[in-house]
Amino acid sequence: MTSANPRKYESLDAVIVGAGAAGVGMGVVLADLNLDSFAILERDKVGASFREWPEEMQFITPSFPSNSFGCRDLNAVTTDTSPAFALDREHPSGGEYAEYLQGVVEFYDLPVWTDVDVESVQRHGDEFVLHTSAGGIQSQFVIWAAGQFGQPNDAPFPGAGHCVHNSRVGSWSTFASECVDDPVVIIGGHESGIDAALTLANLGHEVVVLDEEGPWQFRGLDPSEVLSPYTSQRLQEALERDHPIVLEDGIRVERVDTENGSFDVVGTNGEVFTTQNRPVLATGFTSELGPADDYFEFDNDQPQLTDRDESTIASDLFLVGPQVAHNGQQFCFIYKFRQRFAVVADEIAARLGVDRTPLEEYREKRMFLEDLSCCEPDMCDC
């Protein structure tokens, strides 16, 4: 269900901003607690960021309908749903995953208010006032779930404006059809850079990937830091089949110059990669929190959180999603950050005096990660 837009100065117990993976998953936990005075505000549609992925892009984390044996589908946002089952896909595309999220919204009858853009968040006494494109909303609790997709890191060096960030490519085949017979230079060799390289190479284009570290050479326990097995396997197979992919590590791009329709991608050691195709930025996303930024303290670009994922400087304001980090570990995959929804819900329910027993199921089903010692660097068992 996507409900009617808010009336002027609607007053609620809790507001979730964003109906992506984090907002929808968090909404299910609040619904399980029988909270009836909450809403999920979404500026676009449910799963909007996923709908904007390049059409060829698929999930790297596999989905499998393993719930009945106690192992949650890695891409599920609730204890009992499975994108693998709902979509009959192991590696869904962004559009398919958005359909799964829409299905969750309908199944749980979540109060999602679409086309409501949160323009500002202000603290007034004990409450927050959110100014939105559809009027003002007062709420005791705000759960920020607006994701990172709207904040591409697209100005990491001078001349980056001559490039295109991979999140702005709607279709690699359309991009490829506009390329001339010259290599495509991709800046950044993590998941999205290698994924773009594989897709463009499959479309018959020569590709050069530049990265300072060269993450494709490393293995490690945390797939946030090295290539996932899915991408690593596809890369090995492509290289064995002599696909035209050149991987250059040790290159820190310092700037991009352009002249007469040609681009020079320049490294800090004077290396120059010249191409007539627009270079691709696969430089990730920033950790900014848009209108909620002023209510979080940042250290090293990381929003600072209590052990209940509440802002350290504004009580009753929580963060869920990929910007959550503890002990140096970024909860940037769905299977990581979904384990914190119940922690946030538990805290809110305690403050509202609501019965918290429905959360026991989250504990039993291992969707309630309170012991953050499992997330200390080098000790993560995931």
Ligand X SMILES: Cc1cc2nc3c(=O)[nH]c(=O)nc-3n(C[C@H](O)[C@H](O)[C@H](O)COP(=O)(O)OP(=O)(O)OC[C@H]3O[C@@H](n4cnc5c(N)ncnc54)[C@H](O)[C@@H]3O)c2cc1C
Distance of CA 68 to the CA centre of its chain: 27
Q: How many Cα atoms sit within 13 Å of 337 on the Cβ side? A: 23
**Nearest CA among 369, 364, 285 for reference residue 327:** 369
The tokens describing 225, both together, are 């830091």
- Minimum distance from residue 192 beta carbon to ligand X (Å): 5
Instruction: Answer for the pair 246, 207: CB distance below 8 angstroms, yes or no.
Output: yes
Which parts of 105-144 interact with ligand X (CB under 6 A)?
A: 117-118
Part of the chain binding ligand X (CB under 6 A), chosen from 8-16, 35-43, 197-205, 359-367: 35-43
Does residue 197 touch ligand X according to CB under 6 A?
Answer: no
Does residue 175 touch ligand X according to CB under 6 A?
Answer: no
Q: For residue 64, give Cα distances in angstroms to 40, 92, 105.
A: 28, 11, 21
Does residue 53 touch ligand X according to CB under 6 A?
Answer: yes
Part of the chain binding ligand X (CB under 6 A), chosen from 15-23, 207-215, 271-279, 362-370: 15-23
Between 163 and 266, CB nearer to ligand X: 163
Q: For residue 43, give Cα distances in angstroms to 19, 69, 166, 324.
A: 9, 37, 22, 22
- Minimum distance from residue 77 beta carbon to ligand X (Å): 9
Write the DSSP assignment of 194-244 as a string of letters: HHHHHHHHHTT--EEEEESS-GGG---S-TTTS--HHHHHHHHHHHHTT-S
The 54-93 contact track toward ligand X, x by CB under 6 A, reads: ---x-xxx--------------------------------
Between 209 and 266, CB nearer to ligand X: 209
Between 34 and 298, CB nearer to ligand X: 298
- Near ligand X by CB under 6 A: residue from 27, 188, 303, 321: 321
Does residue 30 touch ligand X according to CB under 6 A?
Answer: no
Instruction: Answer for the pair 64, 153: CB distance below 8 angstroms, yes or no.
Output: no
Does residue 19 touch ligand X according to CB under 6 A?
Answer: yes
- Minimum distance from residue 122 beta carbon to ligand X (Å): 14
Q: Please count the residues of this chain forming the interface with ligand X, following the rule CB under 6 A.
A: 34
Part of the chain binding ligand X (CB under 6 A), chosen from 5-13, 28-36, 53-61, 210-218: 53-61
**Nearest CA among 280, 210, 202 for reference residue 243:** 202
Element (H, E) at 11: strand 10-17
Between 149 and 354, CB nearer to ligand X: 149
Does residue 152 touch ligand X according to CB under 6 A?
Answer: no
Q: Is the dihedral of CA 90, 93, 95, 98 positive or negative?
A: positive
The tokens describing 146, both together, are 């607006």
Give the residue ranges of DSSP H helices in 39-171.
48-51, 83-87, 94-107
The 208-247 contact track toward ligand X, x by CB under 6 A, reads: ----------------------------------------
Residues contributing to the site for ligand X (CB under 6 A): 17-23, 41-44, 48-49, 53, 57, 59-61, 117-118, 145-147, 149-150, 167, 192, 290-291, 321-322, 332-334
